[in-house]
Amino acid sequence: MHASPSKAELRALALAKRDALSDEQRATAAEALAKRGAPFEIAQGMIVSGYAPIRSELDPAPLMKKLADKGARLALPCINARGQSLTFRSWSPQDRLMLGPLGIPEPSPAAAEVHPDVMLVPLAAFDKLGHRIGYGAGYYDYTFAHLRKAKHVIGVGLAFAAQETRAIPALSHDVPLDFVLTERKTFDFRSS
């Protein structure tokens, strides 16, 4: 019998596949995903949090611009400390960003703090049950758990199709996503 791969092994495999994509493949995927749009209604004034892509993450900017055109207000996360919920600040595509504590671009601390209705999240890998593997710090799991005490926040993973894996070993603190959007398909996990 073979042992199931660990999260670290699944993360490494998925990131290698993601890193192997060309810049052109990444840009084409981001545009294809944006063209398809969100698989749910965007209400006027709904707050959608995206992220500033790092490494070889799928760029959410084309989708975020499309959602803003439909009336969404945009936000980006700011990292506080490990084990704490992310803070979200208003953002628009023309705003300048500054480097946060982990070197990830974030809005200025002067930008208004907001509470998202939808969180677009990066990931290393995902499975057909909506489980995701991030980079291991648990920021998004902790944030979903914290925010969902007050209201349901729609969790939408953005990924390349190559990042899908058969099964992710989920732990009790892992929060499944509602959707994953890839350049090829929309996965809806709400009835899973």
Binding residues for ATP: 7-11, 132-140
Binding residues for substrate: 57
Which runs of consecutive H residues, i.e. helices, occur in 20-174? 23-36, 61-69, 139-147
| CA nearest to 160, candidates 124, 118, 188 | 124
* E runs forming strands in 92-168: 98-99, 105-106, 113-114, 118-121, 125-126, 132-133, 154-158
Binding residues: 7-11, 57, 132-140
Beta strands 154-158 and 179-181: pairing type? Answer: parallel
* Half-sphere exposure (Cβ direction) of 2: Cα atoms closer than 13 Å: 3
Give the Cβ contact number of residue 78 at 10 Å: 19
